[in-house]
Amino acid sequence: MPVLLRDAAGAISFYTRLPIPLDGDRQRTFADTQWAAPLAGAVVGLGVGGALWLALLPGLPVQLAAAFAIAAGIALTGALHEDGLADTADGFGGGRTRDDKLVIMRDSRIGSYGVLAIVLSLLARWAALAALAEASVAGAILASVAAHAGSRAVLPALLAALPPARADGLSADIGAISGGTALAALALGFVFLLPCGLAFAVASSLVLGVVTFLVARLALAQIGGQTGDVLGAAQQAGEIALLSSATLFLLP
Tens digit of pLDDT for each residue in 132-174? 999 999 999 999 999 999 999 999 999 999 999 987 766 666 7
Residue 88, in any domain of the structure: yes
Residue 26 lies in a domain: no
Each residue of 172-215: pLDDT tens digit?
667 788 999 999 999 999 999 999 999 999 999 999 999 999 99
Give the bridge partners for 164, in sequence order: 226
At residue 176, the pLDDT reads 80
Does position 35 have pLDDT exceeding 60, yes or no? yes
What is the percentage of the chain residues whose pLDDT exceeds 90?
86
The confidence score (pLDDT) of residue 1 equals: 59
Q: What is the pLDDT of residue 20?
A: 86
117 pLDDT above the threshold of 80? yes
pLDDT tens digit sequence for 224-240: 999 999 999 999 999 99
- Measured N-to-C along each axis, helices 98-106 and 80-94 cross at an angle, to the nearest 10 degrees, of 150
Q: Is residue 20 part of a domain?
A: no
Cα distance between residue 167 and residue 88, in whole Å: 17
**What is the band of 26 on the pLDDT scale with cuts at 50, 70, 90?**
low
- Nearest by Cα to 210 from 244, 176, 169: 244
Q: What is the pLDDT of residue 13?
A: 92
Tally of CB atoms within 10 A around 148: 33
pLDDT value of position 67: 98
Q: What is the mean pLDDT of the chain?
A: 94
pLDDT above 80: residue 18: yes
pLDDT-above-70 percentage for the chain: 96
Please tell me the predicted confidence (pLDDT) of residue 27.
Answer: 61
Give the confidence band of 106 by pLDDT, cuts at 50, 70, 90. very high
In a domain, 21, yes or no: no
How far, in Å, CA of 37 to CA of 14, rounded? 9
Q: Is residue 45 domain-resident? A: yes
Q: Is the pLDDT of residue 24 over 90?
A: no
Per-residue pLDDT tens digits for 75-86: 999 999 999 999
Which pTM does this prediction carry?
Answer: 0.94
Q: What is the residue range of 74's domain?
A: 34-250
Residue 205 lies in a domain: yes
Residue 139 included in any domain: yes
> Mapped to the 3 state alphabet, what secondary structure does the chain carry?
CHHHHHHHHHHHHHHCCCCCCCCCCCCCCCHHHHHHHHHHHHHHHHHHHHHHHHHHCCCCCHHHHHHHHHHHHHHHHCCHHHHHHHHHHHHHHHCCCHHHHHHHHHCCCCCHHHHHHHHHHHHHHHHHHHHHHHHCHHHHHHHHHHHHHHHHHCHHHHHHHCCECCCCCHHHHHCCCCHHHHHHHHHHHHHHHHHHCHHHHHHHHHHHHHHHHHHHHHHHHHHCCECHHHHHHHHHHHHHHHHHHHHHHHCC
The total number of structural domains in the chain stands at 1
- For residue range 54-78, list pLDDT tens digits in order: 999 999 999 999 999 999 999 999 9
Distance between CA atoms of residues 82 and 74, nearest Å: 8
In a domain, 55, yes or no: yes
